[in-house]
């Protein structure tokens, strides 16, 4: 019996996606709930599973095609894959013809493991056998980091396998220059449009301050072992800044609001979007109800988002909503930046690297671990006084974390 595979519901306000990659081809065996295609949406890349076990019969769309929710993209026939005539002869011919590149999903058919595009590229680049690597991603699937770690464990970076060597282009002559055109992913196109829209629509302005990180560093040093033992998660900086931001947003509600037409929408809750680097670009999953959560749960949520962003398992619900954003460019070494707001939000907090700098404390010059922080905001809604006040509240809470406990 043939079953139509349709584009699933992709989330609120998302009506279409783009076929990013076919993970199964006609004639391939398919297990129940096994991904058959990777679908790119405006926010995340998701996998389309097969509802039945059987054989991939037909593909109704090509890579790069835009498909709407509910559209039929493939046909799967129930039952086992038929054995092709001359299969043994074909197998021998394939073994003899080492110039052909083997499909990575065929190499791992016994384990029913499907590799994402990023993982597949890493496997080929490092010459790693994916069946020998234990995956740390969702349901034990391989991540790019798993492959890179396996390559490092081997102590070298092997050249590409012989099966691809014959297809490699000849080395460029000395002094020659070349170009490469790569189609933008749907996610990258959406990021570009949203950021440009923010610049075109909002009256963007950024205010800066610097923070003495001494108190937070001392607190982490003193309690990190007890915290990890009790909560099974590391005590990071983001938990401190999320709670500090909560204090600021509560005292300055406009920073937690947004413009909708000719109205201002105020929120009595704090849902913080946390910028996370993913293989296809920057994504901003949402830590909900920061105003009600403790440090441990906030850190767990952020760690989980980071892991799932790397292995591509974030969902549309993870990305939806958010009343304020925190972006930490410091993890990449940034000293200072002017972050762009995440529409329809009205403000974003930018964090940067910590470095020892001379500062004056009590009339004396001392060396302290300092961080520049930036608050970019929509001046249509937020006045300069409000923005500066909000950033000052964050600074004071970080320099004296006790304020977070006694609600000051």
Q: What is the DSSP letter of 275?
A: -
Residue with tokens 């850190």: 299
Q: Provide CB contacts within 8 A for 176, sequence distance 6+.
A: none
Taking the C-alpha atoms of residue 110 and residue 129, their distance in angstroms, rounded to an integer, is 13
Residue with tokens 């409000």: 386
Taking the C-alpha atoms of residue 254 and residue 19, their distance in angstroms, rounded to an integer, is 40
Q: How many CB atoms lie within 10 A of CB 363?
A: 5
For β-strands 272-274 and 324-328, DSSP reports them as: parallel
Residue with tokens 């937690």: 256
Helix (H) or strand (E) holding 376: strand 364-378
Q: How many CB atoms lie within 10 A of CB 48?
A: 20
**Residue 383 annotated as catalytic:** yes
Contact 59, 26 (CB under 8 A): yes
Question: Of 334, 365, 369, which Cα lies nearest the Cα of 355?
Answer: 369
Helix (H) or strand (E) holding 311: helix 295-311
Inter-residue long-range contacts of 19-24, CB under 8 Å, 24+ positions, other chains counted: 19/61, 19/62, 19/63, 19/64, 19/65, 19/67, 19/73, 20/45, 20/63, 20/117, 20/185, 20/186, 21/63, 21/117, 22/59, 22/63, 23/47, 23/105, 23/114, 24/50, 24/56, 24/74, 24/105, 24/114
**Residue 379 annotated as catalytic:** yes
| Catalytic choice (251, 317, 383, 400) | 383
Distance of CA 240 to the CA centre of its chain: 22
| Catalytic choice (317, 379, 400, 407) | 379
Q: Which of the residues are catalytic? A: 379, 383
């Amino acid at each position: 019996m043939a079953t139509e595979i349709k584009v699933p519901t992709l989330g609120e306000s998302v009506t279409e996606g783009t076929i990013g990659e076919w993970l199964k081809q006609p004639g391939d065996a398919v297990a129940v709930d096994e991904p058959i295609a990777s679908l790119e949406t405006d926010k995340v890349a998701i996998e389309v599973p097969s509802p039945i076990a059987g054989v991939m019969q037909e593909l109704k769309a090509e890579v790069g095609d835009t498909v709407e929710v509910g559209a039929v993209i493939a046909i799967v026939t129930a039952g086992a894959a038929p054995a092709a005539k001359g299969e043994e002869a074909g197998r021998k011919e394939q073994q003899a013809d080492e110039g052909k590149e083997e499909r990575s999903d065929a190499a791992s058919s016994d384990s029913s493991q499907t590799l994402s595009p990023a993982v597949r590229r890493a496997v080929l680049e490092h010459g790693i056998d994916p069946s020998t690597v234990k995956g740390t991603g969702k349901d034990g699937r391989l991540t790019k980091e798993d492959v890179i770690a396996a390559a490092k464990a081997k102590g070298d970076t092997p050249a590409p396998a012989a099966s691809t060597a014959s297809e490699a282009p000849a080395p460029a002559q000395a002094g020659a220059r070349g170009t490469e055109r790569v189609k933008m992913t749907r996610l990258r196109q959406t990021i570009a449009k949203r950021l440009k829209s923010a610049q075109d629509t909002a009256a963007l302005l950024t205010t800066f301050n610097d923070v003495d990180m001494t108190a937070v560093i001392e607190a982490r040093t003193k309690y990190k072992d007890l915290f990890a033992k009790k909560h099974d998660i590391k005590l990071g900086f983001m938990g401190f800044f999320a709670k500090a931001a909560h204090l600021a947003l509560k005292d300055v509600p406009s920073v937690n609001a947004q413009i909708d037409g000719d109205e201002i929408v105020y929120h009595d809750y704090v849902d913080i979007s946390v910028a996370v680097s993913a293989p296809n670009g920057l994504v901003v999953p949402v830590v909900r109800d920061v105003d009600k959560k403790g440090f441990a749960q906030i850190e767990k949520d952020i760690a989980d988002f980071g892991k799932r962003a790397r292995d591509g398992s974030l969902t549309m619900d993870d990305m939806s909503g958010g009343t304020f954003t925190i972006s930490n460019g410091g993890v990449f070494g940034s000293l200072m930046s002017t972050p762009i707001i995440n529409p329809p939000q009205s403000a974003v907090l930018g964090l940067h690297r910590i470095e020892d700098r001379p500062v004056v404390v009590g009339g004396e010059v001392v060396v302290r671990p300092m961080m520049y922080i930036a608050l970019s905001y929509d001046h249509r809604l937020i006045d300069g006084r409000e923005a500066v006040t909000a950033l000052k509240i964050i600074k004071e809470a970080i320099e004296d974390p006790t304020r977070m406990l006694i609600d000051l």
